Chain A
């Protein structure tokens, strides 16, 4: 129970400061929108059917924008060497990892909750009928993205010029997750049901489990100094 309390302590601390300023979420949201608009003009997508290109666009935008969110996840502690303070205060590193991952997941999901309707609006499509299956797919794949991203965020914060390395690390390791997310989303958009995602839903869940477990185990050896 102590671990669970620590997790919520860490997550709560981050989320409170997030809600107070909202800076992180707004930056991520606007970056994702900019990516969308850039794609729109790069490929002239005004007349293209949303179900064919939409899933790819959405997930590329989320992948890129998510990097910003991850960069600030541990940087918040980095300013005044808060990570060591955090380690001293609540001891269990796995709880810190899970708390951080949870708060990163929530803030990325909030950004997505604004981003997806905006994307639907820009591409003249209505996502309301598929809201529930789409939300399921988004939550599953965002969880995998954040699970591995939180680990890399802590890692790159500790090396010099690590912020250069984070996008490369994160985007390379999440290539299969991006593939799964795009396929699952397009399956949902085409059929309108969660069953349309087919095998990709399972790929997403397996990815989540593998990397959540691996990252929980590896976080402790990673941050000890």
Chain B
């Protein structure tokens, strides 16, 4: 078993996922079973999207931050492994961002009555999503591997510097905005925060697993290209 650590990690993540699911959905699957989390009084059961929506958003931010650090790493050291990590992190971040901007409207529609209420956080996520899609697009444009890594590292840094400006601009754009959680949104029941923290931790672990696997794949692809290139050379000689 050469992939043993990954398998163990997958096992742990699965168990944690099931635990979180049971805590959140116990009563929606088995009617007599009461779930660990209480039902929110004003939003009803749909509020439970929260347990996966917010951890996804935080994981996406983490992913983009890691990509930012990896981009700086590439610029300073010029080792392709940093670029592999940056690519992996951006790709996973985009996946989580996609989850956020799809589950967001599914939550907003029953609670606020509109699919897209231009909530600052949701809008920030949308702009982030666009930014990093462009990053992935840039990757497909360059043919020279080294140049691709260099350009993407530059964009990885620029895009992340844009994140706080985007966030505050979107926030101040309307003056007031709907607050659901956080300061001014009232507290959160202790059991809710247990389930939430459990979900968050599980998502971070999942991110770590995906990052390692995706970066390894990118690394292997580089290795493969190198092998192919050297093959070509010996074939010509």
Asked if A and B form a direct contact in the complex, defined as CB atoms under 8 angstroms apart, the reply is yes
Which residues of A line the B interface, CB within 8 A? 148, 151, 155, 158-162, 165, 168-169, 172-173, 175-177, 179-180, 183, 199-200, 203, 206-207, 210-211, 214-215, 218, 221-222, 225
Q: Which parts of B32-69 form the interface with A (CB within 8 Å)? A: none
Q: How far is it, in angstroms, between the C-alpha of A180 and the C-alpha of B166 when the chains are bound?
A: 10
Q: How far is it, in angstroms, between the C-alpha of A221 and the C-alpha of B131 when the chains are bound?
A: 21
Q: Are B161 and A160 in contact (CB under 8 A)?
A: no
Known: A151-B158, A179-B170. 16 other contacts (CB 8 A): A148-B158, A155-B155, A161-B141, A168-B137, A169-B134, A172-B130, A172-B134, A175-B166, A177-B165, A183-B172, A203-B169, A206-B165, A210-B165, A218-B154, A221-B154, A222-B150
Which one of A199, A206, A207, A221 lies within 8 Å of B75 (CB-CB)?
A221
A contact residues around B155 at 8 Å (CB): 155, 169
Q: Are A218 and B169 in contact (CB under 8 A)?
A: no
B contact residues around A214 at 8 Å (CB): 157-158, 161
Q: Are B158 and A211 in contact (CB under 8 A)?
A: yes
Band of interface residues on B? 20 to 34
Closest to A162 in B: B141
Report the minimum CB–CB distance from B122 to chain A (whole Å).
15
Which one of B151, B168, B173 lies within 8 Å of A155 (CB-CB)?
B151
Closest to B138 in A: A165
Q: How far is it, in angstroms, between the C-alpha of A211 and the C-alpha of B168 when the chains are bound?
A: 16
Report the minimum CB–CB distance from A130 to chain B (whole Å).
22
Q: Are A155 and B154 in contact (CB under 8 A)?
A: yes
Q: Are A160 and B143 in contact (CB under 8 A)?
A: yes
B contact residues around A180 at 8 Å (CB): 169
Whether B127 is near chain A, meaning CB under 8 Å from some CB there, is yes
Whether B162 is near chain A, meaning CB under 8 Å from some CB there, is yes
Q: How far is it, in angstroms, between the C-alpha of A183 and the C-alpha of B173 when the chains are bound?
A: 8
Q: Are B169 and A160 in contact (CB under 8 A)?
A: no
Q: How far is it, in angstroms, between the C-alpha of A159 and the C-alpha of B146 when the chains are bound?
A: 12
On whether A221 and B150 interact (CB within 8 A), knowing A172-B134, A176-B166, the answer reads yes
Q: Are B165 and A176 in contact (CB under 8 A)?
A: yes
Q: Are B141 and A173 in contact (CB under 8 A)?
A: no
B contact residues around A183 at 8 Å (CB): 172-173
Q: Are A203 and B141 in contact (CB under 8 A)?
A: no
When A and B form their complex, which 4 residue pairs have the shortest distance between CB atoms, in order from nearest? Answer: A176-B169, A176-B165, A159-B141, A179-B169
